[in-house]
Amino acid sequence: MTHNVLVVDDEPKLCDLLTSALSQNGISVFTAGNGLHALKVLEVEDIDLVISDWRMPGMDGPQLLAEIKSRFPQLPVIVMTAYSTVKNAVQSMRNGAFDYIAKPFDIDELDITVSKALQFRDILKDNQRLRAELDEHQQIDSLIGDSPSFRRVLQAIDSVRESNATILLTGESGTGKEMVARAIHKHGNRADKPFVAVNCAAIPEGLLESEMFGHRKGAFTGAVTDRIGRFQQADKGTLFLDEIGEMPLALQAKILRALQERVIEPVGDPRERKVDVRVIAATNKNLLEAVANKEFREDLYYRLNVFPIPLPALRERVEDIAPLARHFAHSLGAAAGKRITGFSPQALQAMAHYSWPGNIRELQNCVERATIVASGTVIEDDDLPAYLFASSPAGSGAILNEGTSVPPDLDAALAEVEKAYILAALAQSNGVQAAAAQLIGISERSFWYRLKKLGIHVDKIVR
């Protein structure tokens, strides 16, 4: 692939040197003597990378970097600087530069840095293509975002989508694990085959084996006909095992055999059935901790963890909150027959400062409520739920300030935060457990487990 690189420097000899060095690697080089000239080049040429000097007359390097980040946010910039101004270059990286090289520089070092920047640019282009291909049917909501942490997720999707490797998606509830699984399936080599999703926590334990592997008529009370299980339904396609950490130990051994041998046995039928499925599992639990506690099989964990993809919490990708919120407002507003054009600066600021314990799911619920109550085309801060503006919302994850005493028991402190979340959710849902679980983005089964673990009695808190 041919890449176009723009070199910006007011020293013609340095421009010539860089042109000669980069051209040897098959790169097409454009040059500009100052920042204003560089912007004109960027408007007419498809540039993959900018290498800019720090000090230039007129528009200097930092000013050019700010303009590029504003007009071409996905275009990587490498800053050139003298050794005496390395601190300034580091500041430029904080302002969005991809990297810096110090003058006088080594050609090999230049080649390595440029190669990394161009690989990064290629990944962004692939991610743009991947996102462009996803349509409303794929529910692309959770695949919106351009933060560094989410770009890594998109890169992982692009790397694994054509393979048949087993994938383990990890992350908090509401981070979009099923959406990622659907995207991998849609853009993989099994896209024209079934995608079957199973919530391992939502199916009663006594029915889970039959649900997964099927059963023969008469195998148990209520089995009035033969039934194929989810593995057979997903044959040649993708089986998504959501909340795999909630699967009972007794069934884990049979799941492991199905993954290893690619065969299943329906309940009440000793004959094996061959299956060809690509398995994507997801969990919000720490499976290694579950393995240590004998709650999850170690061999199954390693069978599932062939290609792990951790999904960041929404608080770890704050820059994605605004585009996600706008997308929700547009789609939800249209569904409600309302035209929502955006959010006020105060509303965006409030959403950016909230910790979103329920992640994308909570953001969607928040925007849906705001779209309903909004009186105009712009969602104001008054339209947002009051809890977003609490000085210390339950479970906000506030960092201890200097001088703050550290709790002597971290587990106890975390339990208190978890308890505060659950009590707030129960109070807001008037004690309805299913609604409270949905509010904080966990399954009803997981919610019930936490009630029991924390000693919370619902009948005592309902008003």
Which domains are assigned to the chain?
Answer: 4-126 (3.40.50.2300), 140-310 (3.40.50.300), 317-389 (1.10.8.60), 410-460 (1.10.10.60)
Lowest-pLDDT choice from 97-106, 291-300, 328-337, 446-455: 446-455
Residue 401's pLDDT is 43
CA dihedral 34, 68, 159, 231 (to 10 degrees): -170
Report the distance separating Cα 9 and Cα 53, nearest Å. Answer: 5
Show Cβ contacts of residue 354 under 8 Å, excluding neighbours closer than 6 positions: 388, 393, 396
pLDDT in tens, 184-238: 998 888 999 999 999 998 888 778 888 899 888 877 777 767 788 899 999 999 9
pLDDT at 459 exceeding the cut of 80: no
Q: In whole angstroms, give the CA distance from residue 212 to residue 240.
A: 11
DSSP string, 260-318: HHSEE--BT--S-EE---EEEEEESS-HHHHHHTTSS-HHHHHHHTTEEEEPPPGGG-G
In the three-class reduction of DSSP (H, G, I as helix; E, B as strand; rest coil), residue 91 is classed as helix
Cα 261 from Cα 28, distance rounded (Å): 51
Tell me the average pLDDT across 385-411: 53
Tokens of residue 207, six digits: 């029915």
CB under 8 A, 24+ apart: contacts of 361-364: 361/173, 361/174, 361/441, 362/174, 362/314, 362/439, 362/440, 362/441, 363/314, 363/321, 363/324, 363/325, 363/328, 364/141, 364/328, 364/332
pLDDT tens for each residue of 277-291: 999 999 999 999 999
Strand 307-310 to strand 167-170: parallel, antiparallel, or no bridges (unpaired)?
Answer: parallel
At 143, is the pLDDT very low, low, confident or very high (cuts 50, 70, 90)?
Answer: confident
Contact 351, 430 (CB under 8 A): no
- Across residues 29-36, what is the average pLDDT? 91
Of the ranges 41-50, 96-105, 437-446, the best mean pLDDT one: 41-50
The DSSP string of 190-212 is: TTTS-EEEEETTTS-HHHHHHHH
